[in-house]
Structure 1
Amino acid sequence: MANNQAAIKFLNNAASLAVGLGIGAAAVNSSLYTVDGGQRAVLFDRFRGILENTVGEGTHFLIPVLQKPYLFDIRTRPHHFTSMSGTKDLQMVHLTLRVLSRPEVSRLPTIFKTLGLEYDDKVLPSIGNEVLKAVVAQFNADQLLTERPHVSALVRESLIKRANDFNIVLDDVAITHLSYGPEFSKAVEQKQVAQQEAERSKFVVMKAEQEKRAAVVRAEGESEAAKLISDATLAAGMGLIELRRIEASRENAATLARSGNVVYLPKGNDMLLGLNAGH
């Protein structure tokens, strides 16, 4: 009987010890928290509110129930958002912006107080659209293409300043996509066609002008040749003409001689074919 009572007492003590150890382990576990690599913690205290100092990587103690940690990812993260903006000449442009952002570590308590854990989703799309609309409105639609590096630089500079107001650091800002509405695209296409037609018309006019000049030069050359022949004829006198008539008559006589259809020459037709016509 005594042995049974001793055994029961031992079991009760063991159970009490186990419960105590369990409670102690739970208390210890609830008083510890871990901050992983690339993270920082902001500690909330029920009596003092958000503590001003951030907590770095590692395992740390807190007061259970009274304190609670909130973890921030401080690594650079990409964000993409789009905007439909109007240009200076009232054309609508669709742009996509990519930013690489991270929180300013020393200002994490302030970020948590004012914006919460989802600070970037609350801030970046709104200020991104604001900056894009303000910058695009300074340029005509065609300038967005010809001056794209300048446009990107203005967007980057303005957006970095606006993000700094919310304690957000931007490591990179880039316009990744830019497209126009169908009306403007059609207008650009028509303009290109018109320019090509203008170039073609210009070529046709230049060609006609060159042909006109060539005709004038050719006519002047023929006129000069005729003048030279006339001058030579006048200088040589009638002897040159007689010589040409004799040569022509010889050629005609030779042709007739080779022809089998001609047997004799009719009376009154000299072999010189009119050589004496001028006498």
Structure 2
Amino acid sequence: MDWEERVLPSIGNEVVKAVVAQYNAEQLITQREKVSRSVRDALMARAADFGIVLDDVAITHLSFGTEFTRAVEAKQVAEQDAERAKFVVMKAEQERNAAIIKAEGESESAKLISDATKQYGYGLIELRKIEAAKDVAETMSKSRNVVYLPNSGNMLMQINPNQ
């Protein structure tokens, strides 16, 4: 006569344990509807063995033990750390590639300047000296610590192209 207190809890635990064992923790959380449907179908079939007809079954609360919860959280943290490490490696590789490309460009630039100097003389170097002197003069003129610019010769290194 007390079937709802004797039969339902025992077949409920039996069915829930059997169904939950088929899924991992992530699936239990992400595929909640599928798990609920599996529990409902299995529980209805098992209750029918006892002549009990169930209209519906709903999973209202799903919880895990503290150790299991900590293990799931640790796994998630480890996965996030792995993703972060992968990103750092990819970033370092991109920076390395950028440095290589920059170095190749600078090398090509130096080669072209060297070739131009050999072919056309030191006019380009003199032009660069003048541009650098202009930049230095402009910077110094904006500084509060400089009252005047001395006119005692060239402010850059003396490079004699004839030597």
TM-score after normalising by structure 2: 0.69
Shift of 1:187: 0.9
Matched, 1:197 2:81: yes
Partner residue, 2:36: 152
| Distance of 1:137 and 1:215 partners within structure 2 | 53
Letter in 1 for 2:9: P
The answer to whether structure 1 residue 215 and structure 2 residue 132 are counterparts is no
CA distance in 2, matches of 1:162, 1:189: 35
TM-score by length of 1: 0.43
Q: Which amino acid aligns with 2:152?
A: L
- How far apart are the structure 1 equivalents of 2:14 and 2:72? 28
Change (3 A) 1:192 1:119: closer
CA deviation vs aligned residue, 1:190-228 (integer Å, no higher than 9, x gap): 112112211221222122112111111111111111111
In structure 1, the partner of 2:57 is: 173
Matched letter for residue 125 of structure 1: P
Counterpart in the other structure of 2:152: 256
Number of aligned pairs?
136
For 2:55 and 2:95, locate their aligned partners in 1 and report how far apart those are by CA, in whole Å: 64
* Structure 1 equivalent of residue 46 of structure 2: 162
Cα distance change, pair 255–171 in 1 and its aligned pair in 2 (3 A):
same
Bigger Cα Rg: 1
Superposition map of 1:81-96 within 5 A: none
Are the structure 2 counterparts of residues 169 and 224 from structure 1 closer, same or farther at C-alpha, using a change threshold of 3 Å? same
CA distance in 1, matches of 2:103, 2:33: 58
Kindly indicate whether structure 1 or structure 2 has the higher relative contact order, using CA contacts under 8 Å at least 6 residues apart.
Answer: 1
The aligned amino acid for 1:192 is Q
For structure 2, the residue ranges without an aligned partner over 5 or more in a row are: 134-149
Taking a change above 3 Å as real, the CA distance of residues 169 and 226 of structure 1, as seen in their structure-2 partners, is: same
Summarize the Cα distance change of 1:140–1:169 in structure 2 as closer, same or farther, 3 Å threshold.
same
| CA-to-aligned-CA distance 1:41-74 (integer Å, 9 cap, x gap) | xxxxxxxxxxxxxxxxxxxxxxxxxxxxxxxxxx
| SS at 2:22 equivalent | coil
Cα distance in structure 1, aligned partners of 2:111 and 2:32: 67
Whole-angstrom CA distance in 2 between matches of 1:227 and 1:195: 48
Give CA-to-partner distance per residue, 1:88-139, whole Å, 9 cap, x none: xxxxxxxxxxxxxxxxxxxxxxxxxxxx3x3322322122122222222333
Query: Gapped runs of 5+ residues in structure 1?
Result: 1-115, 258-272
Q: Which residue of 2 aligns with 1:225?
A: 109
Kindly indicate which of the two structures has a greater share of residues assigned to helix. Answer: 2
**Runs of 4+ residues deviating >4 angstroms:** none
